[in-house]
Chains A and B, each alone.
Chain A
Amino acid sequence: MVSLSDYLILSAIIFCIGLVGIFVNRTNIITLLMCVELILVAVNTNFIAFSHFLGNEAGQIFVFFILTVAAAEVAIGLAILTLLFRNKGSINVDVTNSLKG
């Protein structure tokens, strides 16, 4: 049988792959958004694994809400991306330095 720790370690690995993706692709906003999606899926896998092994459906309800929020986040993120490309002519992170932060 597959134990709970297998699922947890799998999602930890996926989480770290998403993290490395943010480090590596730090100039490309589209890939950054995709890495955030990967991290969210890893976290959702954690929730579902605990929900299955502890016999409590609240974890799956939580995943449902996380999926909703992530879909909204992607829609607005891509809208901002389109706006950025329209104004700056590029989606490189380095051009978004107007605030001098």
Chain B
Amino acid sequence: MTFDQILFYVFSFWFIASSLAMIFSRNAAKSVLFLILSFFSAASIWILLEAEFLAITLILVYVGAVMVLFLFVIKMLNIDKSTLRAKFAGYLPLGLIVAAIIIAEMTLVLGGNQFGLDVVAAPARHAADYSNITVLAMQLYTDYVYPFELAAVLLLIAIIAAITLVHRNEASRKKQSIAEQVNVQAKDRVRLVSIATPNKEAK
């Protein structure tokens, strides 16, 4: 067994184990933490596949931003844990049967006869000065520049949509009214009250 295979099986074990722990965990916050572990394992496997840029992106964007967003939402919403798992066991047998059938079929289709090393040979490792980011950037800014711009627009739309959705109505906001500020009169601001003078002889 080569070093590559050992690494692959270690990362695969943690990927599968933490994914299973994620779906069977009863606490949503723990699920997020297990999902972070499986994303790290996935990023390690992507590095084994020499996709360094995407592996780093997975960790930065997913673990750093998206999972923290999940944690924020879980902590902000007060979730009643007792009602969430009421139907836990009901669909588990059906789900396991479906998953077992899919895995069996996929193993038959994707097995060593179709995609083994003697059919699809492993490519030679790149040299030390190979830059994955340069190769991706050359493709991204030439052939795929139009989809790249579209992705940027999509992110902009997502920002606007998310803000618009959770935006509260105007009644609960404190905002300036310029016209009222300009038209204000002195009598609106200052109110003269006559106070009885204290008696000087009282000292």
Contact = CB atoms under 8 A, between A and B. Distances in A.
Contacts of B84: 27-28, 92
Contact of A12 (B46, B83, B110, B120): B110
B110 A72 contact: no
| Interface of chain B, main secondary structure | helix
Contacts of A41: 38-39, 42, 58
A80 B115 CA distance: 42
Interface string A35-54: 10110010011001101111
Interface string A1-44: 11111111110111111111111111110110111011001001
Contacts of B58: 41, 67
Contact of A82 (B28, B86, B136, B166): B166
A27 B22 contact: no
A6 to B, nearest CB: 7
Instruction: Give the size range of B's interface with the partner.
Output: 35 or more
A78 B35 contact: no
Contact of B92 (A23, A61, A65, A75): A23
Given A8-B110, A38-B38, A1 B2 contact: yes
Contacts of A44: 42, 46, 54
Contacts, number: 233
A49 B49 contact: yes
A30 B54 contact: no
A10 B161 CA distance: 35
Interface string B116-140: 1100101100000000000110011
Listed residue (B51, B123, B154) with the most chain A CB atoms within 10 angstroms of its CB = B51
Contacts of B80: 90
Nearest to A19: B99
B19 A14 contact: yes
B49 to A, nearest CB: 4
B138 to A, nearest CB: 8
A20 B158 contact: no
A8 B115 contact: yes
Nearest to B53: A60
Contact of A24 (B49, B92, B114, B165): B92
Contact of A3 (B28, B49, B103, B115): B115
A41 B19 CA distance: 11
Contacts of B139: 57-58, 61
Contact of A78 (B38, B70, B136): B70
Contacts of A80: 165
Interface of A: 1-10, 12-28, 30-31, 33-35, 37-38, 41, 44-45, 48-49, 51-55, 57-58, 60-61, 63-65, 67-76, 78-83, 85, 90-92
